[in-house]
Structure 1
Amino acid sequence: MGAQRHFDTISRYTTFESCLLLVKLVSGLTTAEAESAYGKAAFYSVPCTTQCGQRFRIWQGCSGSQPSDPCPIDGLYFQKECFLGYLSAVSSSDATCSGREEELVAAWGDSLHNSVDGRGLRELVASPLSNRWLVFPERVFSRIFIRGIQLRCNLLRTRVRSARHGHGGQTILCRGNCGQPESLVHILQFCWITHDARCARHNRVARELAKRLRRLGYTVFEELRAPTSTSFIKPDLIAVRERRATVIDVSIVSDGRGVTVWNEKKQKYGADEFSLAIISALRAIGCDVDFLVHQPMIISYRGICFPQSAKAVIGLGLSKVTVSDLCLLAIVGSLRTYDTFMRGTWR
């Protein structure tokens, strides 16, 4: 952590004169233009410079340019190269280069989405709010930021992942004696060792959503029991305002399960018997309701919000930041679940 903070400090406080010179050399700007551009730019943190470096490499590949300075890659040079590459990519007006850049990004995306680890990231295309914590890394602790990326990319250590490196005779079965391969999705969604941690992850998301709704003036009931003809139902949240009730059931799902779970929840709570049971339970405690709708809140264990759920939450009056915060809360819960598994099976 100390080394990372030191590197970040070096990156942020690169001297003005050397950067100004490199701006002029690499981007081809005049002195006045370089001073104007550099004067308006802030010193970027490590996550930001990493993104700028990626843009710089894309721009170099599309334009056919090559690095002209064989300077060793120390902290200062890394900061300068990334910053200047970002300026070059932004200031480039070549339409052909722009088209090639889009093709290159699309090819990288297809390659990632077709891989075992990146298949679950396809859903991110339709859920940009799930990436807000990546766009604004200053709102996240550095440890959570790094491990959150590892979670998103399926890079956390498991027996299935370790076996890819060809260690002969290594078993891939779960250390919890489940008889199933010890993959990340098994640890975070199915293993008996992490059952309590998964429940805690779910409850934290539900409580945070309830707190945000109460701030908007909703009357929120948590796990209200509504008797039915054979048993009872207990949705996570029922938000009531202006004689309108919204049933919200929170689900943390596996990759690709969003549509299935959404339809199942809609079908379950959309049945006349269950809807009447909820309305009756609300009226029994003195809450008159004329209209009831169900909006499932579905987030994957990677912290990717189902698009329909994001629209539903925003439709209730909550902000886009709330959707992002709920996704980040799911990520933190998944990381805690993973740590629980590792502590419980360590030997």
Structure 2
Amino acid sequence: MAFADDVVLLATTLQGLQRRITSFAEYLEERGLRVNPAKSLTVALQPSGRDKKIKLVEDAVFTVNGDAITPAKTSTEWRCLGVFYANFGKKRPSMVKTLEDLLTKISTAPLRPQQRLVVLRYYLVPRLYHSLALSPLTSKFLKKLDCMVRAAVRRLERLEDSMVPACRQALRMSLVDARLHTARRLTFCQQNDLGTTKRRKAYWTKTLHDSVDGRHLRPTKNIPGAMRWSIEGTSLLSGKEYVNVMKLRFNALPCLSRTKRGRDVVKQCRAGCREDEVLGHVLQRCKRTNHARLRRHDVMVHYLARRLKEKYWNVREVPVFFTSLGRQIPDLVLKREGQAVIFDVQVVGQRVDLEDAHAAKRAKYINQDLHAQIADHPVIVMTATVSYRGCWAKSSVKDLQSLGIGKHDLSILTLRYLQGGLRAFRDHQMMTSVYPDEVATTETLNPPRSP
């Protein structure tokens, strides 16, 4: 990165940055402008694959019209639009030191006390607003700055330390006291104190998890990064898909049990199943969506296989083994450097605990006959156990991370199988097939109306 005044040039290589600087300098010279190398700075950042870090290249030299531009060192700091930066990114400014210097200048300047107060109130304090607004701050840090300003006012006005500040005296006024009391009451909701951001988040999280539609989202905490796309957005979804995927997460898709709840009408599945048409039945058990469920499962398996091959695992997809327990077909068999792993993917409903489902799937493949056919050393059994609403089993997350699957991959996996669930729901709504062996009588599905 190289910048001069308020112009920033970016490039992916050192040679590319030099070409951009030369091209930019020629562009300015054609218009009667010149780059001042003395006021310019270059920052050369290079990734280090071995250390998995970004290092600063201090010996990289860039020139403009034959003059060298000052390169950034590890101790170099600069400011842009009131924000301080270093080679590692945005840096909290030394606000305390800046404020101390400004207060010292005011107290030593040949000014009258009232002039000092005017400068402090209308020029010095507002000067800090921009940096404060664009910097990471805490209430403790702001309180420290506030105490420094108040102490300076005491010195300027020659006030004693025991003098009560005017703002504290104002708290004793009945009008101010009444407004503060009203403000405090507004921070309470159903006897819960919501005065801080942490408490507000905890309150709304608890409210969601205590609701009927939200109680099955509690395992989301097992991997919070997997749902970052719901906050930051993603280019993998159109606007309509995003809305519908969020409806699937919140159990708000228009099934009969939801659209007709509270009414004494038949809510059985339109495919002729002997179950109520709830979202769990549509996505997990209905015959209309069997092909979509298989496709959802295969998408997850193929994605994991591709990513694990990139991690230098030897991957076998859907191998068939004949054992003493019968035919067993795990989704993936992985081998690398003396390691052997049986990996299976499953999307489960809400009636079963995710950890119990994970343990049951592992128990299915803990078979010595099967392990002997895979490798002559111990074989590890792992699973990817998820619910159809986007929650992961904690043990499955640990298994995937041990294989080299990161949070970004888990986020994409979550998004993909939610899309698969949405596709299954759409197929269910558009199909008109009814299975004769499970069709109820016409009187059961359409009871006569009472006169």
Q: Fold conserved (TM > 0.5)?
A: yes
Partner of 1:181, secondary structure, is coil
Equivalent position to 2:252, from 136, 139, 155: 155
Greater Rg by CA: 2
Change (3 A) 1:157 1:191: same
Distance (Å, rounded) in 1 between the aligned partners of 2:407 and 2:294: 25
TM-score w.r.t. the length of structure 1 is 0.67
Identity %: 29
Could you tell me which residue of structure 1 aligns to residue 219 of structure 2? 123
CA distance in 2, matches of 1:332, 1:196: 14
- CA gap 1:126/1:39 in 2 versus in 1, 3 angstroms: closer
Structure 1 position 185, deviation (Å)? 0.6
Distance 1:161 1:32, change over 3 A: farther
RMSD (CA atoms): 2.9
Indicate the residue corresponding to 1:326 in structure 2.
413
- What TM-score, normalized to structure 2? 0.53
Contact 1:226 1:278 (8 Å CA) reproduced: no
Pairing 1:226-245 to 2, within 5 Å after superposition: 226-245=321-340
SS in structure 2 at match of 1:240: strand
Match status 1:175 vs 2:262: no
**Could you say which residue in structure 2 is the equivalent of 1:249?**
344
1:317 to 2:404 alignment: yes
Q: Distance in 2 between matches of 1:125 and 1:39?
A: 30
Q: Which runs of 5+ in 2 are unaligned?
A: 1-124, 137-181, 187-191, 435-451
Please say if 1:144 is aligned against 2:244: no
Distance 2:197 2:311 in 1: 43
Report the CA distance between 1:37 and its aligned residue.
Answer: 6.1
Cα separation, partners in 2 of 1:39 and 1:129, compared to 1, 3 Å = closer
Contact 2:342 2:380 in 1 (8 A): yes
Runs of 4+ in 1 over 3 A off after TM superposition: 30-41, 62-66, 96-105
SS at match of 1:154: coil
Q: Number of paired residues?
A: 259
Deviation at 1:341, TM superposition (A): 0.5
> What is the aligned partner in structure 1 of residue 381 from structure 2?
294
What is the Cα deviation at residue 263 of structure 1? 1.0
Structure 2 CA distance for aligned equivalents of residues 37 and 138 of structure 1 = 31
Q: Which has the higher helix share?
A: 1
One-letter amino acid of the counterpart of residue 292, structure 2: A
Matches within 5 A, 1:176-215: 176-215=271-310
Whether the 8 Å contact between 1:301 and 1:330 is mirrored in structure 2 is yes
Q: Structure 1 or 2: larger strand share? A: 2
Gaps of 5+ in 1: 1-29, 42-61, 67-95, 280-288
CA positional deviation for 1:64: 4.6
1:134, CA displacement in angstroms? Answer: 1.8
Letter in 2 for 1:195: N
Within-5 A mapping of 1:22-61: 31-36=126-131
Q: 2:209 — aligned with what?
A: 113
- Cα distance change of structure 1 residues 339 and 40 upon mapping to structure 2, 3 Å threshold: farther
Q: How big is the shift at 1:39?
A: 6.7
Find 1:275's aligned residue among 359, 368, 371: 371
Q: Does the 8 Å contact 2:340/2:374 carry over to 1?
A: no
**1:266 matched to 2:353:** no
Structure 1 position 104, deviation (Å): 4.0
